[in-house]
């Protein structure tokens, strides 16, 4: 008998019975492998020779359940645009199982688009090729930018249409995550008053993500703090690359601190704090600049589910003490987020530690300049690195008047000079800045171009070319120039994204 393709060790299936529905993927007529992530397969210790072929196509399309997999649909709830939905769950996804990667970390392997489940409600459980390839492009870009994210291991075509506004080619994505535990997983059991299950879930979570907290007296409060700190750092990283998630419902907020669910997300072009791309986000709840506030709001929902665990006993005074402790954590979120944001911004400016107030003002004034003159966010920062290296022309050409940023540039330079003898030379600063200010991001028009070629013409070449560029975001070679250029302002003004349903 051949060796198993995955060495599964399925703690979720084993330890959390009652938290999911065991289920099987739907069979599809004609599996084909459209994308396979060699690098990630290696990281996961998988046998690429087997998976990057017909057997892989069958597995990743859902036709062949690999040995050791125990497919299941996870239960979760969630606040969607602020309104509570007590039952969401994996309506078109199945956790196949968990593997231990080469670094010893446990990773979930999940199919998305693998057919209906007991949580599907009115949905068909399927996915179209466009949104699944979109998730590959954006999640791989995020990974290359050093931002915690779920990853894409494979996309398989199914050979059957899925019916949206029009029939589209169907596909299944294989997603890899540190776990699929969400704020919404806790809300599901909390809303049903199942405190024992919330405790079981929290214990499982701590063992999986924060094992150093095991047995410390206040582990549930500490868990809340860890999740809040991970989210504070994550959202800071989003903000510093101009990423707009688009649908930060509590079912899309992970406990691990990874970005998840690439539905209507987009990167902004010209700096605009109010930027919203999602077609259903009418009120701008998930606008770019609202993301830290919304993350904090979501963490308050998590805190509510943990209160009975944080309280030492079921008495009024113990519960009100727990509320006070949890509130302190939620109230500390803006401070943690601001610190992570400024740390990243200082690196982007090529500066070392200094006075927070002065550096905060320096960044704020830089962003005001970008906003006022509608400068491309990504290129603004990138060309600032060139300016550090002595070439200010490309930066100046981003502004309507070449002198628009002069006063600010003088301030920035003297702030750099004030670091004294220990500070790096400007040429060295420029190099460092080029390692944190990307040249290539998934620009909306390039993503759409790649997806329509794949979906409408079965041409995957633009997808693969763009993917390669996104995997090297700091590399600004001539043959990638097309991917650094912004879309026209008109194209961006009309750009709308949709949930991947």
Q: What are phi and psi of 212, to 5 degrees?
A: -65, -15
Distance CA 364, CA 336 (A): 18
Q: Pick from 35, 62, 92, 329: which binds ligand AMP (CB under 6 A)? A: 92
Residue 390: CA atoms inside 13 Å, Cβ hemisphere, count?
4
* H or E element in which residue 175 lies: strand 167-177
Residue 350 sits in the site that holds ligand AMP (CB under 6 A): no
Under the criterion CB under 6 A, does residue 163 sit at the interface with ligand AMP? Answer: no
> In this chain, which of 55, 140, 187, 261 binds Mg ion, going by CB under 5 A?
261
- The verdict on 108 binding Mg ion (CB under 5 A) reads no
Specify the length of the chain in residues: 501
Can 376 be counted among the known catalytic residues? Answer: no
Compute φ and ψ for 52, nearest 5 degrees: -90, 50
Shortest distance, position 294 Cβ to ligand AMP, whole Å: 15
Residue 195 binds to ligand AMP (criterion: CB under 6 A): no
CB neighbours of residue 330 within 10 Å: 17
Task: Name the one residue in this structure whose structure tokens are 């790649």.
Answer: 450
Pick one of 37, 63, 66, 90: the residue that binds ligand AMP (CB under 6 A).
90
In the region spanning residues 122 to 161, those forming contacts with Mg ion, defined by CB under 5 A, are: none
* Nearest distance in Å: CB 404, Mg ion: 42
CB of 242 to ligand AMP, least distance (A): 22
Report whether 410 contacts 365 (CB < 8 A): no
What is the end-to-end Cα distance of the chain in Å, rounded? 40
| For Mg ion, the closer CB: 135 or 261 | 261
Q: Which two tokens stand for residue 307?
A: 């209160």
Note whether 89 binds ligand AMP by CB under 6 A: yes
State how far the Cα of 307 lies from the Cα of 286, in Å rounded to an integer: 27
Number of residues that bind Mg ion (CB under 5 A): 2
* Residues near ligand AMP (CB under 6 A), total: 19
Taking CB under 6 A as the binding criterion, the range among 29-37, 83-91, 147-155, 286-294 that sits at the site for ligand AMP is 83-91
* CA-closest candidate to residue 175, choices 218, 216, 140: 140
The reply on whether position 184 binds ligand AMP by CB under 6 A is no
- Report d(CA 447, CA 424) in Å as an integer: 37
Identity of the residue, 155 or 395, whose beta carbon is nearer to ligand AMP in the bound complex: 155
Q: Which is nearer to ligand AMP, 242 or 246 (CB)?
A: 246
Residues 220, 202 contacting (CB under 8 angstroms):
yes
Pick between residue 174 and residue 252 the one whose CB is nearest to Mg ion. Answer: 252
Q: Is 125 in the site for ligand AMP (CB under 6 A)?
A: yes
| Binding of residue 245 to ligand AMP (CB under 6 A) | no
Our measurement of the distance from residue 235's CA atom to the centroid of its chain's CA atoms, rounded to an integer in Å, reads 9
- The residue range among 341-349, 393-401, 430-438, 493-501 that interacts with ligand AMP, by the rule CB under 6 A, is 493-501
Q: Of 85-93, 203-211, 354-362, 455-463, which part binds ligand AMP (CB under 6 A)?
A: 85-93
Helix (H, G, I), strand (E, B) or coil at 164: coil
| 252 belongs to the binding site for Mg ion (CB under 5 A) | yes
Residue of the chain from 231, 252, 345, 378 that contacts ligand AMP (CB under 6 A): 252
486 binds ligand AMP (CB under 6 A): no
Give the H or E element holding residue 161: strand 151-163
Please tell me which residue in 251, 261, 376, 386 is annotated as part of the active site. Answer: 251
Stretch that binds ligand AMP, among 82-90, 134-142, 206-214, 447-455 (CB under 6 A): 82-90
Chain-centre distance of CA 140, in angstroms? 10
Q: Which single residue brings its beta carbon nearest to Mg ion?
A: 261
Minimum Å distance from CB 260 to Mg ion?
Answer: 7
From its phi and psi, is residue 177 left (phi > 0), alpha (psi between -120 and 50) or beta?
beta
Nearby residues of 219 by Cβ (< 8 Å), 6 or more positions away: 206, 213
What gap in Å lies between CA 50 and CA 272, rounded to an integer?
47
The span of 22-30, 173-181, 244-252, 351-359 binding ligand AMP (CB under 6 A) equals 244-252
**Is there a contact between 231 and 293 (Cβ–Cβ < 8 Å)?**
no
**Cβ contact 490:445 at 8 Å:** no
Alpha-carbon gap, residue 288 to 357, rounded angstroms = 23
* 269 counts as binding Mg ion under rule CB under 5 A: no
**Residues at the interface with ligand AMP (CB under 6 A):** 88-92, 119-120, 123-126, 247, 251-252, 261, 263, 499-501
Name the residues annotated as catalytic. Answer: 251
Binding positions for Mg ion, rule: CB under 5 A = 252, 261
């Amino acid at each position: 008998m051949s060796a198993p393709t995955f060495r599964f060790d399925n703690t979720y299936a084993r330890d959390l019975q009652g938290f999911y529905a065991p289920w099987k993927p739907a069979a599809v007529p004609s599996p084909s492998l459209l994308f396979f992530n060699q690098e990630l397969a290696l990281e996961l210790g998988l046998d690429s020779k087997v998976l990057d072929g017909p057997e892989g196509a069958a597995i990743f399309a859902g036709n062949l359940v690999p040995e050791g997999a125990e497919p299941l649909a996870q239960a979760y709830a969630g606040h969607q645009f602020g309104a509570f939905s007590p039952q969401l769950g994996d309506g078109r996804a199945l956790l196949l199982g968990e593997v231990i990667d080469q670094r010893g970390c446990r990773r979930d392997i999940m199919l998305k688009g693998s057919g209906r489940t007991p949580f599907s409600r009115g949905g068909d459980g399927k996915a179209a090729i466009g949104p699944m390839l979109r998730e590959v492009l954006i999640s791989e870009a995020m990974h290359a930018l050093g931002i915690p994210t779920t990853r894409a291991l494979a996309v398989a075509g199914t050979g059957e249409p899925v019916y949206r506004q029009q029939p589209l080619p169907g596909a299944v994505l294989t997603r890899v995550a540190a776990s699929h535990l969400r704020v919404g997983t806790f809300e599901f059991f909390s809303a049903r008053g199942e405190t024992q299950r919330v405790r079981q879930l929290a214990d499982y979570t701590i063992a999986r993500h924060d094992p150093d907290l095991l047995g410390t007296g206040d582990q549930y409060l500490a868990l809340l703090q860890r999740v809040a700190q991970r989210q504070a750092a994550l959202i800071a990283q989003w903000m510093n690359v101009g990423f707009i998630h688009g649908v930060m419902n509590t079912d899309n907020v992970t406990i691990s601190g990874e970005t998840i669910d690439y539905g209507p997300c987009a990167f902004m072009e010209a700096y605009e704090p109010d930027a919203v791309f999602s077609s259903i986000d009418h009120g701008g709840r998930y606008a770019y600049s609202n993301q830290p506030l919304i993350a904090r709001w979501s963490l308050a929902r998590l805190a509510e589910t943990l209160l009975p665990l944080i309280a030492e006993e079921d008495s009024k005074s113990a519960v009100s003490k727990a509320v006070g402790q949890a509130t302190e954590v939620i109230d500390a979120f803006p401070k943690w987020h601001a610190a992570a944001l400024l740390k990243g911004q200082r690196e982007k400016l090529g500066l070392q530690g200094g006075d927070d107030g002065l550096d905060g003002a320096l960044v704020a004034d830089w962003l005001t300049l970008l906003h006022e003159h509608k400068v491309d966010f990504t290129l603004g920062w990138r060309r600032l690195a060139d300016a550090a290296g002595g070439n200010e022309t490309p930066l100046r050409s981003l502004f309507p008047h070449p002198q628009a940023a002069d006063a600010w540039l003088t301030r920035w330079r003297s702030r750099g000079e004030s670091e004294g003898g220990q500070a790096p030379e400007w040429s060295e600063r420029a190099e460092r800045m080029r390692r944190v200010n990307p040249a290539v991001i998934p620009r909306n028009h390039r993503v759409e171009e790649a997806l329509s070629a794949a979906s409408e013409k079965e041409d995957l070449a633009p997808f693969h070319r763009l993917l390669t560029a996104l995997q090297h975001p700091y590399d600004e070679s001539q043959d990638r120039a097309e991917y650094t250029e912004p879309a026209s302002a008109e194209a961006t003004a009309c750009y709308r994204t949709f949930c991947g349903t």
